[in-house]
Amino acid sequence: QVQLQESGPGLVKPSETLSLTCTVSGYPISSGYYWGWIRQPPGKGLEWIGTIYHSGSTYYNPSLQSRATISVDTSKNQFSLKLSSVTAADTAVYYCVRRGAFYYVAYWGQGTLVTVSS
């Protein structure tokens, strides 16, 4: 059973960089699939941030491409998100996910709320 768990600071100051890590259990990232991040502002809808393959190949939502970086550490079975120059608009629950055969989400982490505030 694939399980994903997000970790990282729950509070980030404006203009700083948001950093989150997802630890995967039950499946080696190096075995395949695309892994990624989706966010959901409080009370609002869902937004793909991007994905990464174990080889390092990435996809980013064009709206966030200039600020988002996703990386993978197969030795720790983890992948990470960095989002730079954050503002209050980046306040959201961030989910780490595993993609299905295409860009739908087969597995979700429980989500972690990140608040951007001074």
Partner 1 sequence: ELVLTQSPGTLSLSPGERVTLSCRASQSVSNNYLAWYQQKPGQAPRLLVYGASTRVIGIPDRFSGSGSGTDFTLTISRLEPEDFAVYYCQQYGSSPYTFGQGTKLEIK
Give the three-state DSSP class for 89: helix
Q: What is the 3-state secondary structure (H, E, C) of 78-95?
A: EEEEEECCCCHHHCEEEE
For partner 1, the closer CB: 66 or 75: 66
CB of 58 to partner 1, least distance (A): 13
Site string for partner 1, 43-72 (x = CB under 8 A): --xxxx----------x-xxx---------
Distance CA 98, CA 35 (A): 5
Binding site for partner 1 (CB under 8 A): 45-48, 59, 61-63, 95, 100, 102-106, 108-111
